Each structure stands twice: as structure tokens, then as C-alpha cells.
Amino acid sequence: MQIARRLGLFLTAALILSTFPLANASGSSSDISSLPPQTAASLAPGSDASVLPGAIAIADEGNNRILVINPKGQVLWIFPQKGDLKPGQSFKTPDDIFFSGDGKSIVATESHNKTISVIDIATRKITFQYGVPGQGSSKEGHLNNPDDAMLLKDGRIMIADIKNCRILFINPKTSKHTQFGSPGSCAHKSGKAYASPNGSFPMPDGKFLVTEIGGDWIDAIDLTGKVYWKVHAPGVSYPSDTNQVSKDVYLTVDFKSPGQIVEFNAKGKALWRYKPTGSAALDHPSLAHALPNGDVIATDDANHRVIVVDPKTNKIVWQYGHKGIPGKDAGYISNPDGLDFLPPNSLMVLAGA
């Protein structure tokens, strides 16, 4: 599982972010993880809190909220709460969330609401939105089932716009955009067209991994659109949110039931597969990431839980949420579709976003 390489990537991220403290809800320079817990610890029996490197933010899609919990399962922060949204402003179905590089903002993708939102953590306000709520379209200023929006180093927001079959780059200051692919051309044509891309994740070398649902394609491209390699995720029919673990090791999930988590290389060789069956089966997992200790964290969406799997034993060693039971009370989530760690362990900063 190349634990040493993973640990090296996480340590690099920590150094990058050491001068960027995260602002808390009151606006002071402090990590959200230092806020007092709002609930008691609430994890599945047998969970080991030490496997997580820190607090995590969960896109609790079914509850229309972002939830931040510590490794013990105590709720630290929730968005939105009363007064956070302006009159007439909406925040619905967040399915992916990523912290900005400086730790001051969260970029949330509201896929079924057809929008993306940038949330200022200190003020608890949405500072930028793109798309027209509830109106999926290819018209100017519209999105159609956006996925995995994240803020790049150059200030642009990168979005996988699934039903418009494009990777979109938006300048928040001007709302002007550029794109790879185009609406109406939903086919796999390397560097020219994309078949329903549901993720575009940065890698430390400056390239990006684009996941195409159509045809099960994973493409390595750069910011000019140049394609360096492409491959099928082995044994996967609905790939989702492919990202890099270490040099020539990549991780994807199969968004189906039963679902699976798969590690592979650029030649398409499977290196590890987690595909439990029966009552232990995954139900539409949408995102998985490697942890510095070699474990893998994943959203098991339709099972309403976030889990950590130990690849050495293929056992779940940490779980938040109740399998098969959606809810909003402490310890419950509903269709959790995305997650990110708080800086300095932010997954997108680790990847180079």
C-alpha cells in the first residue's frame, strides 16, 4: 500500500499550509477542530478514532448541510444554520466539498441544485455562486449536474459539469470561463470531448485525473488539455472521483450496488480491491481517499455512512453513520456524497489544488 509514500505526501501538505491557519465561525484565527463539540461522541461500535489524521467535513447531501466532525464523531460545525443564508438564497444537495488552499473557504458542489457555492468560513456566508438553482442547462451561466468543484492555485474554480460533458474553469472575479469539451458532444475523444466527466482531481505533478462515466475512462491531462495517458479502471463499470495515492497508484470507486473501491496503476492493473458482498456490501460509494497510515476513507452513500477500511485486513476500522438508516440527529447522516479533511490535512491541498 506504499504507506511511506502516502505519509510523505501528507507531510508536504502540512508544510505548505503551516502558515495558513483556518478561521473559525467567529472570525478568529483558529482551527474549526478547536471549537467545543456540539454533541457527544457517536461512532459505530469498534471504531478506532486514531486512524483519522484530524477532523473531517462531510457533504451530508440528504440533509442539505455540511457537517464537520472530529475523529471521535463529535459534531463541531454545521452549515447552514439560521441566519447563514440571505433571503432568497438556497443551499441544497451538497454532494462534494473541498477546502481552499488557505483554509478560509469551502467550495461546495450542489449537484442536483445545479450550482456551486464558495462559503467563507469566518463569516458563514456564501461569497460566490455559479449556476442557476434548480435549472440545469448549457446556457451561459448555467451548469447541469456539476461535480467536484474545487479552487485551484491560480484562483479559478474547476468543475466537472457532468451532463454538459465538459471540464469548466471559472474565474470568480469575472464569472468568465474556459472549458475542455462541450455540451452536446458527450463522447470519449482524448483531449477534445468527454463522456459525462464526474471528477477532475489534481495531482502533485500539476496534471489532473479526469474520470469519465461513459466507457469507464480515466485520463491524465494538464491545464492545456494535453492527454498524457488514459486507461480503464479495472473491473469498474461506473467510476467515480478517481485520485492519486502515490506514484503510479490511483484510487477510484464503483458507484453501484454492490459497489467497490479499487486501486490500480496507469496500465490498468488492479493493485487492491475492496468489494464485500451480502449484508456487508457497499451501496453506491462515490469517493475514496488514502490516509497517511495506509487506510482508505470512503463515502458509502446509499448506506448513509462514512467508513475507513484497513486494506491489510479488508475490515472497517472506523464508521460514522448508521448503515442503511438515514437521519439528521447526532451520529446520523443521509446520503453522504463527499468529504475533505480540515487543513493541514486537506485532501485537495495534498493533491496540489
For the sheet containing 146-151, what is the strand order? 146-151, 157-161, 166-170, 177-181
270 within 8 A of 235, measured Cβ to Cβ: yes
Q: Which residue has the cell 464569472?
A: 175
Give the Cα-Cα-Cα angle 230, 184, 193 (nearest 5 degrees).
20
Predicted pLDDT of residue 28: 30
pLDDT of residue 345: 83
3-state secondary structure of 226: coil
SS3 72: coil
pLDDT in tens, 248-302: 999 999 999 999 999 999 999 999 999 999 999 999 999 999 999 999 999 999 9
**Which residues, other chains included, contact 216 with Cβ-Cβ below 8 Å and sequence gap of 6+?**
232, 233, 236, 237, 238, 239
pLDDT of residue 346: 82
What's the full length of the chain, in residues?
Answer: 353
Residue pair 297/316 in contact by the 8 Å Cβ criterion: no
274 and 296 in contact (C-beta within 8 Å)?
yes
Residue carrying C-alpha cell 496500465: 267
**Cα(316)–Cα(105) distance, rounded to whole angstroms?**
31
Q: How many domains does the chain have?
A: 1
Q: Which domain holds residue 9?
A: 3-351
Q: Is 108 helix (H, G, I), strand (E, B) or coil?
A: strand
Strand bridging mode 94-99 / 105-110: antiparallel
Q: How many CB atoms lie within 10 A of CB 269?
A: 11
220 near 227, Cβ under 8 Å? yes
In sequence order, the β-bridge partners of residue 231 are: 218
Q: What are phi and psi of 67, to 5 degrees?
A: -120, 130
Which residues of the chain fall below pLDDT 70? 1-30, 347-353
Q: Which of 118, 113, 111 is nearest to 255 (CA)?
A: 111
Query: Nearest Cα to 72, choosing from 38, 49, 40?
Result: 49
* Digit-coded pLDDT (tens) for 315-344: 999 999 999 999 999 999 999 999 999 888
Which CATH number does the domain housing residue 330 bear? 2.130.10.10
> How many Å apart are CA 135 and CA 34, to the nearest integer?
39
Per-residue pLDDT at 175: 86
Q: Name, in order, each residue with C-beta under 8 angstroms of 123's C-beta and a sequence gap of 6 or more.
A: 27
Quick one: pLDDT at residue 27? 33
